Structure 1
């Protein structure tokens, strides 16, 4: 063999000793959203084998993870984007969502004024599937034509 061999016991001993070294426990505050969630990150450190950053959020007191987090921050938390969202981006997307709600309400009022009825919510379960008079599920006399 032309290179150094891997000594398993040396690797185990080195990892055991490195486990006693202090680690960063508190993350860097990366931002805050309009709900009040705080977002934190511990950056990646490839020199110690940490390839990906650790990211999490902390909801405001009393919320206990009840509200959904904004899509921009969720994509940052899951690592789909490298940089956290900017305030301008968050405000722009919030304004677009508010405009969509207002437009949907206007369309609904217009539809009801024209005589439309409220949409019916389909029933769930076995009865929600269509039935046909010439075929009933479980009918032993029904034959399938394979032409």
Structure 2
């Protein structure tokens, strides 16, 4: 026979106290590893003890380095934006796409650097510098003051 839930305040406090004495899981379940060597762990949610969200964390490959790199897929899993951890195939596919983009960017940079070397920079016009607005004698530079005479 199932126990009837109590509406008594003291009964609720006693049940919560009793549940708090149960052993809890402190060590996480190993979930996976990325190609940087970071290891990912999780303690799943347990609504019966009031834990609604899973606890997720990672152990970095180099514990002394403060600038850790995480893949976008694993970071989304850590932050709870995705339920399932990324698969090995998904990580490999996205790594190949990332490498392809780096190669394409290097090729474009080389192409534009070559085209830039072929073109000569425009000559400076008197009173103007390359990359700034033109300066005219008849316009004031400081509002309310006369333009400087040359």
What is the TM-score normalised by the length of structure 1?
Answer: 0.70
Shift of 1:18: 1.9
What is the number of equivalent residue pairs in this alignment?
121
- Structure 1 gaps, min length 5: 118-129, 142-147
Give the ranges of 4+ consecutive aligned residues of structure 1 lying more than 6 Å apart after TM superposition: 133-136
CA contact (8 A) 1:55 1:77 kept: yes
Shift of 1:13: 2.7
Give yes or no for the alignment of 1:81 onto 2:82.
Answer: yes
Per-residue CA deviation, residues 23-61 of structure 1 (Å, 9 max, x unaligned), is: 011111010000111101111122222222111111124
Cα 1:47–1:100 shift into 2, 3 Å: same
- In 1, Cα distance between the equivalents of 2:64 and 2:86? 22
CA contact (8 A) 1:59 1:65 kept: no
Superposed CA RMSD in Å reads: 2.7
Shift of 1:63: 4.3
CA contact (8 A) 2:38 2:61 kept: yes
Aligned residue for 2:100, secondary structure, equals: helix
- In 1, Cα distance between the equivalents of 2:47 and 2:83? 16
Give yes or no for the alignment of 1:68 onto 2:69.
Answer: yes
Give yes or no for the alignment of 1:26 onto 2:21.
Answer: no
- In 2, Cα distance between the equivalents of 1:43 and 1:15? 20
- In 2, Cα distance between the equivalents of 1:67 and 1:61? 8
- In 2, Cα distance between the equivalents of 1:134 and 1:16? 79
Alignment match, 2:126:
none
CA contact (8 A) 2:74 2:85 kept: yes
Q: Give the structure with higher Rg (CA).
A: 2
Cα 1:63–1:102 shift into 2, 3 Å: farther
Q: What pairs with 1:1-147 in structure 2 (closer than 5 Å)? A: 6-115=7-116
CA contact (8 A) 2:36 2:69 kept: no
